[in-house]
Structure 1
């Protein structure tokens, strides 16, 4: 009986030890996983846990971490992930994450993933599976993690697609793999439109390369991440020109990684296939400079109504003050005497006038002010007249659509831009009227605009206008001007087209911000015209009309001056005649003198 009791006690103790050992297995795994999550937080902070599945140790660890947790037991969400947070994704087993919402997939593409492998799942298979989904920040632990402390982290640019990292080593578990792509290709294609991308030849290698404020940024990024440029030949066209809309479409269809082109994206429903804005510019019209004002109209331009009104008021004030100071009374004042004041008329025309006799100080002061006013008036109008005769101003410019309707011009638009405008709601070009819009094919439109055809108005961005403005400095005189108020869009955002699930999108957008912040964008834009000259994309041809050799003023140019002079002389003669005819005393005296002289002569002859 004693041996039987001893055997029972031994079996009970052994069973208790076995139970204690089995109970400690799970807490040890949780402790190791908890330490791993703490380490991941020190490498890069996360403030949200997203757990796929529920039959594992991950859900119970979230309480100890004191981090907001979203538990997706079904493996997929039925909502769009809109949390602006740094998320760490935990999966209870391989393929526990079965996300179907593509918007959520995009936003969580760069998030770090930690997977608990069960069964015979191999790290190489797991890394290959996630790389096909373009999710590269993936790490795995097996069920024996509590014994060995080994983390399997996926690596892209190496022979083996994963790396073993011990929990107690200093090597990082997650790395930014795309900062060094080890010569991996980046698929891109350029539209070959100056000045944003212009094809040239590398003098060292003899290969094609592209320059311009768009191509330079892509080239610098490829060099920065140690990649290579891959231009799909099947997408290239024979003439080298590629429509930028096709490039954006190819990027949206995953045929290109990054398009070497910028495109307006104001009408886009979302920005899944476009980067952070690279450039903001206006999209206005370059308008031909109007003709110079004819010489016969210069005399009317220098006369401003408001200035004439002020001069008339000053004239009336001087006239009233002169009459009042001379007569010391307002009794004899009348509108005729005020308006027909001979002294004020002569004074304002800078002509000599009789100085009033026995003038006091006040009268002398008024006459002095009158002389000063005449000097200012004649000097001002003389300066205006001489300046405008030497360099006549332009006729009124086109600043609005109403001005355009009164002009003789038409709007030239290429067929591609016209098709894009038709999809926009209430685009401003409708105000011009269909009869005033002429559509050309792309090459013909570029040739017309490059030849500065002054029969049309051309839509152009402010960046491209800078090139044309620099080219006009080679002309004898400018031909076009850029109308800031006559625009299709005052603020247009230009971005790069990229494919939807580009894994290094964050690096490329960071590169855009840095290049712009360092001032390289402004430098590239300012160098655009010199690059085009060097590549012979623009010529030194002067498209301005030759200046007239005869700048003399003809008799026809004095038509209005002579007409006004003749009119004034006629009015003066009429006034003089009316005064003479209206004076009866003068005629009576004349008749009496003539009669007396005749009588006197008659009497003398008869004596």
Structure 2
């Protein structure tokens, strides 16, 4: 009798080992996994035969000492590790070696098998407690002593606990959205407007998290059956960058950082979610200002206009003086250079006609009057048009345009080292000041803006009397930017968040939340209803003319007066010199 019992005990592992292998393949098949990766060193010796007899799913057999395998080469793997189950410290060391290579892949499924037939469930409790503290999720366990009956796993919510289930259980691993049983989901928003808007409700005094990212986490907490809770460290109006939020997540201060980050490096893929938003980040440049009123007179008195006026005056002066010379009347050289009647006629002023007027003279004066009328009309129409619609200065649309106009590009202290290579004038501020300047519509600077932010601002501009900014795609910082959530290593929420991102984009919820940005900003008091373009218009172009508007006219008048006085003094001096010379000679 004792011989039969001893034989059963010795051969039991061999007889039932197939049940564990079948369980492993069933887990891989139920979750549509593509490959099984087994660390075989401490597995039962007959596993190799049973594993390779099953050809439904590819299998990669590894040794515990192998570290050169690149996990990224495999899509949707199931990781299996066997522990000897004799010494607890050795099991924990092997577990750490097994999970250290999977730190960046928390969503991948894992199975731990304890090969010692005499191990009890207490050993599995120690293993799972270590997994809990090391933030290792999606793991189930098998004991050699009862592998044909149960498998083990642990739950985080509402508190840490382990459980065992029958091998015939319909669910092996937790579903994509674990049930948190009302446990608080601690969120830290970065408050980067307009995606993450945090404000205090005036009626209830409670903090409200809005914006597209804020609304996303409201839905996430509902899907997880959790209670959304803002971190105690959050301060309304204080902006945080992605690095600070990630540090808070790694220290367990917050569960999820509510912050979208641009994916710039391949290294970020391991700790990032599915892209929440695909956008481009380009220049938001202030609309070129209208030229000052004083420059309007300068434009009308341009060199080409003055040259044309001189040519017309000289032509008519030449014609009048040639006609005068043909009638044997006195003609002076100065009349050829500047004829007073031709000048007055061009300017539309009256003058006395000569007593003896021939038909040719009358015809010339008639043509002179018509030309003077046209010149006066053209000048008046041009002046009225430019006064009503002054032309604008050069419109910057690229980095080269910013360098030409010397418009500073506002950047944050964190981004300044990256953007130095642009070689444009820059204004370096902190994140809070950056948002204050951009949301305050400060037209003295240029900014980087995503397409989402520009859509919000363009909706606001429709209420203004005129545009304040343009969105130029001539020069973009990122022509295709992927915005996603960045997680600390082994975050429990990587898979649920990525799954929810796919759902909200497929159902159009995210587009609806984006359309609510203006409402959220207004409710938070961050988007005023006033029209800043009115103040800017009054400052740039007041309703009445000022003395400074006639700057160029005063300068021209003063210059010509000085020239006239100098010419007059020169004539007086020349007259006296010639008179003295004549008196000395005669």
Shift of 1:114: 4.2
**Aligned-partner Cα distance in 2 for 1:34–1:244:** 43
Corresponding residue for residue 601 of structure 1: none
Q: Counterpart in 2 of 1:410?
A: 407
Closer, same or farther: CA 48–400 of 1 in aligned 2, 3 Å: closer
Q: Which residue of the other structure, out of 509, 518, 521, is the alignment partner of 2:510? A: 521
Shift of 1:397: 1.9
Q: How far 1:550 sits from its partner (Å)? A: 8.0
DSSP-derived class of the 1:70 partner? strand
Alpha-carbon contact 1:258-1:499 (below 8 Å) kept: no
Deviating more after overlay: 153-162 vs 495-504: 153-162
Provide the secondary structure at the position in 2 that maps to 1:460: strand
| Aligned-pair Cα RMSD in Å | 4.0
Q: Is the 8 A contact 1:412 1:440 kept in 2?
A: no
What is the deviation of 1:226?
1.1
Look up the SS of the partner of 2:153 in the other structure.
strand
Picking from 59, 65, 73, the partner of 2:63 is 73
2:18–2:47 contact (8 Å) kept in structure 1: no
| Change beyond 3 A, Cα 1:430–1:72 | same
Per the alignment, do residues 245 and 44 of structure 1 end up closer, same or farther by CA in structure 2, a change over 3 Å counting? closer
Q: Aligned partners of 2:496, 2:287: CA distance in 1, in Å?
A: 45
Q: What is the CA distance between 1:38 and its match in structure 2?
A: 4.8
In structure 2, list runs of 5 or more residues that go unmatched.
86-90, 302-381, 554-586
Shifted more, 201-210 versus 179-188: the winner is: 201-210
Q: Distance in 2 between matches of 1:180 and 1:19?
A: 45
Aligned to 1:465, the other structure's residue is in SS state helix
Measured against aligned partners, the alpha-carbon deviations of 1:385-436 in whole angstroms (never above 9, x if no partner) come to: 9x988867655421233333332x421424xx244231x3xx475332xxx3
The answer as to whether partners of 2:112 and 2:140 remain within 8 angstroms in 1 is yes
Residue pair 1:398, 1:486 contacting (<8 A) in 2 also:
no
Shift of 1:511: 1.0
In the other structure, the counterpart of 1:110 is: 108
SS of structure 2 residue aligned to 1:179: coil
Partner of 2:261: 263
SS in 1 for 2:271: coil
Q: In structure 2, what is the Cα distance between the partners aligned to 1:135 and 1:271?
A: 19
8 Å contact from structure 1 (residues 412, 445) kept in 2: no
1:29-428 alignment runs, 5 A limit: 29-52=16-39, 53-56=41-44, 57-66=46-55, 67-74=57-64, 77-93=67-83, 94=85, 95=91, 96-99=94-97, 102-107=100-105, 110-118=108-116, 119-122=118-121, 123-145=124-146, 149-157=149-157, 161-167=161-167, 169-176=168-175, 178-201=177-200, 207-233=206-232, 235-237=233-235, 240-251=238-249, 255-267=253-265, 269-292=267-290, 394-407=392-405, 409-414=406-411, 417-422=412-417, 424=418, 427=419
Q: Is the 8 A contact 1:288 1:479 kept in 2?
A: yes
Contact 1:137 1:154 in 2 (8 A): no
Q: Mark the CA change 1:391 to 1:184 in structure 2 (over 3 Å): closer, same or farther.
A: same
- Residue 516 of structure 1 deviates from its aligned partner by 2.0
Q: Please tell me whether Structure 1 or Structure 2 has the larger radius of gyration of its CA atoms.
A: 1
Contact 1:76 1:99 in 2 (8 A): no
1:281, 1:535 → 2: CA distance?
Answer: 25
Corresponding residue for residue 439 of structure 1: 428
1:462 Cα offset (Å)? 2.7
Aligned length: 448
Distance 1:150 1:205, change over 3 A: farther
Whether contact under 8 Å (1:152, 1:163) holds in the other structure is: yes
Instruction: Report SS of the residue matched to 1:90.
Output: strand
Report the TM-score when normalising by structure 1.
Answer: 0.63
Q: How far apart are the structure 1 equivalents of 2:165 and 2:246?
A: 41
Q: Which one is further off, 387-396 or 189-198?
A: 387-396
Is residue 298–residue 392 contact of structure 1 (8 Å, CA) maintained in 2? no
| Structure 1: distance between partners of 2:428 and 2:11 | 80
Cα deviation code 1:434-467 (max 9, x no counterpart): xx33334444444433343333323333322223
Residue 221 (structure 1) shift: 0.8
Contact 1:298–1:388 at 8 Å: present in 2 too?
A: no
For the 8 Å contact 2:201–2:207, the answer to whether it is kept is: yes
For the residues of structure 1 that align with 2:275 and 2:385, how far apart are their CA atoms?
46
Alignment partners' CA distance in 1, 2:72 and 2:241: 35
- Asked whether the 8 Å contact 1:32–1:145 carries over to 2, the reply is no
Alpha carbons 1:110, 1:503 under 8 Å: kept:
no
Shift of 1:225: 0.8
TM-score, scaled to structure 2? 0.65
* Kept after mapping to 2: 8 A contact 1:190/1:261: yes
